[in-house]
Amino acid sequence: MINQVFNAVGTGHDQLMNLVPLPGRITILPVKKYAPIPIPTGLPFTAMFNPENWDQNESYEYDEVIADGEHKGKQVFKHVKSSELSFELLLDGTGASGEKREVTKLIYDLRKTVGFNGDEHRPNKLFIIWGYFIFHGVITTMDVTYTLFRANGTPLRAKVSLSFKEDTDSVTQVLESDLQSADLTHVRTMRSGERLDQICKAIYGSPRFQLEVARANQLTTFRQELTGKTIQLPPLEK
């Protein structure tokens, strides 16, 4: 989804990917805003190892309407709830992988990336990027399990379970909106060969609304050349 946002604004996607130090590894990037151009607010956190799973869920909210005398209801769509993402990272300080890191420092860096931002008075807005996957949201949980220690008690290995909830700002919401509902006013630039009846069928589900659309756009005939013309498609009356 966020790929669509950056493609819509042109250079935003390239700007984002230029901020990823190692494109092959999962990266968490704190930003001031998501779109149209991401502005970093701190250093990115790059995982030592990619997670085994990337668990992302999306749920839909409905109101159930049951008519008098009926035992089954009709589901009336309300909205798509913010999606959630979770995965687990392994942090290793033994050097067995060929990359020796200090686990305590890694945990500190991760908390600084995902956690509370004093300047913004809230946890950081984040991009979580792993190859094709790009998620924008905020941290909801961070659970650390230490599994190996030095003799002095400092950790040598840890598993970090992270959960995030999708977040947007006003610009992102506008860019991501599908705007395909017949309840909304649409503006369409007509392409070569397109006809009003085809556009009405795509937006309203029926070509019979072309007369109303023609009237709204002060068109005198359906045979008028429309290529390149901006057409307003008004909302249907309830």
Helix H segments across 28-127? 103-114
- The pLDDT, as a whole number, for residue 161 is 98
CA distance 126 to 33: 9
Phi and psi angles of residue 184, each rounded to the nearest 5 degrees, phi first: -110, 150
CA proximity to 130, closest of 49, 59, 57? 49
Q: For the chain (length 238 residues), average pLDDT per consecutive 10?
A: 42 65 87 80 92 92 83 82 94 89 96 86 90 90 96 96 87 46 64 81 80 84 76 70
- The pLDDT, as a whole number, for residue 109 is 96
Give kind and range of the element (H or E) at residue 15. Answer: helix 12-17
- The pLDDT, as a whole number, for residue 14 is 62
Q: Which three-class secondary structure state does DSSP give residue 183?
A: coil
- The pLDDT, as a whole number, for residue 28 is 95
The single-letter code of the amino acid at 216 is: A
CA distance 45 to 43: 7
Q: Are 157 and 95 in contact (CB under 8 A)?
A: no
Q: What domains are defined for the chain?
A: 2-176 (2.40.30.200), 186-233 (3.10.350.10)
- The pLDDT, as a whole number, for residue 11 is 41
- The pLDDT, as a whole number, for residue 83 is 92
- The pLDDT, as a whole number, for residue 199 is 81
CA distance 184 to 174: 13
